[in-house]
Amino acid sequence: MLPHPPLAPPQEQIDADVARALAEDIGSGDVTAALLPDSADIAYLLCKQDAVIAGRPWFDATHRALDPEVKIHWRVLEGDRVSAGTVLATLEGRSRSLVSAERTSLNFLQTLSGTATITARHVEAVAGTGARILDTRKTLPGLRLAQKYAVRCGGGDNHRIGLFDTVMLKENHIRAAGSLGAAVRAARAQQPTLPLVVEVEDLQQLEQALAAGCERILIDDFSPAMRREAVRIAAGRIPLEVSGSVDLSVLRSIAEDGVDCISIGGLTKHVQAIDLSLKLGPPPA
């Protein structure tokens, strides 16, 4: 469990995600749920594998969109670790609404819990090193804020949210400006209030970035020896971030080299959903 569950996106964003998802699933009407009596019923939410839970706000909003009077009694918090067989919540509502909301609510919860779970594994792998695990913009279209929230539920941190909140200088910007220093000066002049991240390709560029100044330096695809030398040269003056070709098998060794951040696209790109089910009736004793 996290010390403090992360702040979810604005409710209007969650409601918009839910409305879009329900529209594609229900369309002109749920012809299968119409076969059920529209009477009061109960249901329980079961997690079938070990997981870190994320996505409660979307699950709740889905059910309340179809039945504003539904009662949802959660037994776990966002960011909680649960074992297979855990009953996560019980619900009281109209049987047709429970069934119609089932798949969409589970789609949100299983996807976001999957993101939180894999993030937690990466965070555990670097525990004690001081390195932070960051996500990237490699998110599912339309679910960026949701997935980045799930990363926080798993103990990770967010990189930039989009192209609007951080300036990132790469090879093309440096080439166009004529030098790394010139690119930094142009970025600062145009966007003086935004964080600036500079990607460098070698140790010479690293020295230039340190001299020019920025909020973080991205050392992409450095060899282990170059990475350790970069840490020595930077000496804590500006945080160093590693990105590219990073997976769990090498994560610990990268962190132990002394870098400050490791960004991993697979947290949100390679989604392995958590196995969940919503069943009508009382939970098992």
The residues annotated as belonging to the active site are 103, 138, 170, 199, 220
Which of 213, 13, 24 is CA-nearest to residue 103?
24
The alpha carbon of residue 184 and the mean position of all alpha carbons in its chain are separated, in whole angstroms, by 29
How far apart CA 234 and CA 209 sit, in angstroms, is 10
Bridge partners of 198?
169, 217
